[in-house]
Chains A and B, each alone.
Chain A
Amino acid sequence: MLLIACPYCGNRPEIEFSYGGEAHLVRAANPALLDDQTWTDFLYMRSNTKGVYAERWRHVRGCGRFFNALRDTTTDHFLAVYKTGEPRPALDGGDA
């Protein structure tokens, strides 16, 4: 089980969280103006990165808030957590 550092509550066990998938996918202000492929890319296409992945979590059985995390999907180690709306933090040594 992962130990996840909620930016509001600190380290809590994974079962208190729900996973929100890839982060920084921005919904268009007016989806009706998008062509089908752009809308499809937003709805369905995912980076599914092997390595450092920016993803959303929600502390659903705690404070209830969404936040973002950088996690290495080859080790499951968390490299950073940050609040929704903040930019993706740069990692020392670059994003391996």
Chain B
Amino acid sequence: MRRQTFSALALIKGALIAHRGWQPQWRKPEPKPSYDAVIVGGGGHGLGAAYYLAKEHGFTNIAVLEKGWIGGGNTGRNTTIIRSNYLFNESAALYDHSLKMWEDLSQVLNYNVMFSPRGVMMLAHTVHDIQVSKRHVHANRCNGVDNEWLEPEQAKEFCPPLNISDNIRYPVLGAALQRRGGTARHDAVAWGYARAADALGVDIIENCEVTGFQLGANGAVEALETTRGLIRSRKVGVSAAGSTSVVLGLAGIRLPLESFPLQALVSEPIKPVFPCVVMSNTIHAYVSQSDKGELVIGAGTDAYTSYTQRGALHINSHTLDAVCELFPQFRRLRMMRNWGGIVDVTPDRSPIIAKTPVPGLYVNCGWGTGGFKATPGSAHVFAWTIARDEPHPINAPFTIERFRDGHLIDEAAAAAVAH
């Protein structure tokens, strides 16, 4: 099926016929009885994995099964922050692999994901913050990841709305700035990957929930039971975020995951006032401004595990306290919407992209509160893992067995990294 190509010229042509000539961006096929590989979960990570399986590994008979609609989970619920300033070598390699892929993703997919490397600035409010931030700056630079230390005046120069007065509860004592970091349009990531994967023959099947696995005599995966019938496949990649424990539980696999609600909210739209992304992990505020003009604000996780995709108001209220102190001019803004997503958190706050104890069954999970930034890189190495039945060197450390063998990638303990 020939796809329309997007370009400025195509837009102008479209305008001349009142935009009546645009076609659907992907098919809505019925599931086939059998595939060479099946991805469970139609978010950015899953759709991307299907795309790279088709594009780089020659798989042409693939399906993505999505219980709801594509991009309707955490891909559509996050605050779209992209950065790679993680402390440990393993993490830096993984997240920077992803950041580099963001840089030309719009061209690769011929779909504008609106990647905007406007700079991510992480604030320090205590002596401990300063020490940890500087440690991150140095560690990042050793790994070829850009990160620089800013004094408070330099931070204010980079982000003029920032309040650097010393009479607030947690004054700004400095900041670490990753200039290559930024934001992207979350829906466009799902849609861009879906469109590109579909063009390579991938079947994207929505409203299709996996209800069971059929394993062969040797214990390997043979088929999936779904709400739309039995689907045979000897390779299954699960990329189901907060529902991963549930899906892999169907195959008898227990994981080191807990699923928590994570909330975000947006303000009413205003004129452009906010040039970058500002994060404060100590007082818990994440702010950027979308192209529509809304301030996009990330709040924290609720204390308890839940699958409700909503959280408590006091979590948002706590974040707004911090935002109002750092940016007093936002105090009169009204908040327009808030929502929650279910994030799957590992004990060391690093993801799992690995083979499982069941042959032919692979998992990409545990991204916790920070999976969006990793979408292209994660999808890329997950596709490699599925295609070759062995991990890419970048995701080789991110196994399930690391919890048994003691090789944790403990970003949880590396304070100043938001989770």
B: number of interface residues (CB 8 Å): 23
Q: A40-B404, A73-B308, A76-B308 are in contact. Are A48 and B259 (CB under 8 A)?
A: yes
Partner of A47, one of B254, B303, B304: B254
Question: How distant is the Cα of A36 from the Cα of B402 in the complex, in angstroms?
Answer: 11
Taking CB atoms and an 8 Å cut-off, the chain B residues in 242-282 that contact chain A are 243, 245-246, 254-259
* C-alpha gap A46/B403 in the complex (Å): 13
Q: Are A14 and B303 in contact (CB under 8 A)?
A: yes
Chain A residues near B254 (CB, 8 Å)? 41, 45-47
Bitwise, A28-65 to B at CB < 8 A (1) or not (0) is: 00000000110011011111111001010000000000
A15 touches B347 (CB 8 A): no
Q: Is the CB of B243 within 8 A of A55?
A: no
Residues of chain B contacted by A21 (CB below 8 angstroms):
258, 305
CB contact list, B292-330 vs A, under 8 A: 303-308, 312-314
Answer whether A36 and B404 are a contact pair too, CB < 8 Å, given A48-B258, A55-B305, A74-B307. Answer: yes
On whether A18 and B303 interact (CB within 8 A), knowing A43-B403, A75-B308, the answer reads yes
- Interface contact B305-A14, CB-CB below 8 Å: no
In the complex, which residues of chain A have a beta carbon less than 8 angstroms from the beta carbon of B304?
Answer: 2, 19, 55, 71, 76
A26 within 8 A of B: no
Contact (Cβ within 8 A) A1 B255: no
Q: Are B303 and A74 in contact (CB under 8 A)?
A: no
Q: What residue of chain B has the Cβ atom nearest to residue A38's Cβ?
A: B404
Q: Which residues of A contact B403 (CB under 8 A)?
A: 40, 43-44
Cβ of B312 and Cβ of A48 under 8 Å apart?
no
In the bound complex, how far is the Cα of B313 from the Cα of A15, in angstroms? 11
Contact B307 A15 (CB under 8 A): no
Instruction: List chain B residues, Cβ under 8 A from A46.
Output: 245, 254-258
Interface members, chain A 1-23 (any B CB < 8 Å)? 1-2, 14-15, 17-19, 21
Neighbouring B residues of A50 by C-beta, 8 Å? 243, 245-246, 259, 307
Residue of A nearest to B346 (CB): A44
- Docked CA distance A84–B101 (Å): 50
Bound: A81/B312 CA distance, A: 21
In whole angstroms, what is the CA distance A8 to B300 when docked? 29
Partner of B257, one of A1, A48, A53, A73: A48
Listed A/B pairs (6) with beta-carbon separation below 8 Å: A15-B314, A46-B256, A48-B246, A50-B243, A50-B245, A73-B307
11 additional A-B residue pairs with CB within 8 Å, beyond A1-B313, A49-B245: A14-B303, A15-B314, A17-B303, A37-B404, A43-B347, A43-B403, A44-B347, A46-B255, A48-B245, A50-B307, A73-B308
